[in-house]
Amino acid sequence: MSYHCPTCQGVVYNRRNKLCGFCGAELPAELLFTAEEIAAMKKEEAKAKALVRLEQAKRDIEEAARRASPE
C-alpha cells in the first residue's frame, strides 16, 4: 500500500515521522504508525541487533581460537 501526503501528494516514506518529508506538513494520524506498532518494531529491531552481536561474538571467539592454535 502506498501512502501520500494530503497536502503535496508526496509519498510518505517514513510513517514514524509526523511531518511530510517533502513539504513539511503535519501528517494525519491515519497515515502514521500507532504507538503499539512502533513499540513492536523497536522490540524486533532490538532482537535483531542482539542476534548480530551474538553472531559477532561467536566469530570473534572462533577467530581467537584459530589464532591461538599452533599451525
pLDDT of 10-69, one tens digit each?
999 999 999 999 999 999 999 999 999 999 999 999 999 999 999 999 999 999 999 998
Count of domains forming the chain: 2
Q: 42 CB contacts (<8 Å, ≥6 apart)?
A: none
Which three cell numbers mark 33?
A: 504508525
Which DSSP helix (H) or strand (E) runs through 21? none
Query: Structure pTM?
Result: 0.70
Same domain for 16 and 28:
yes
Contacts 24+ apart (CB under 8 A), 11-20: none
Q: Domain residues for 53?
A: 34-68
Same domain for 21 and 4:
yes
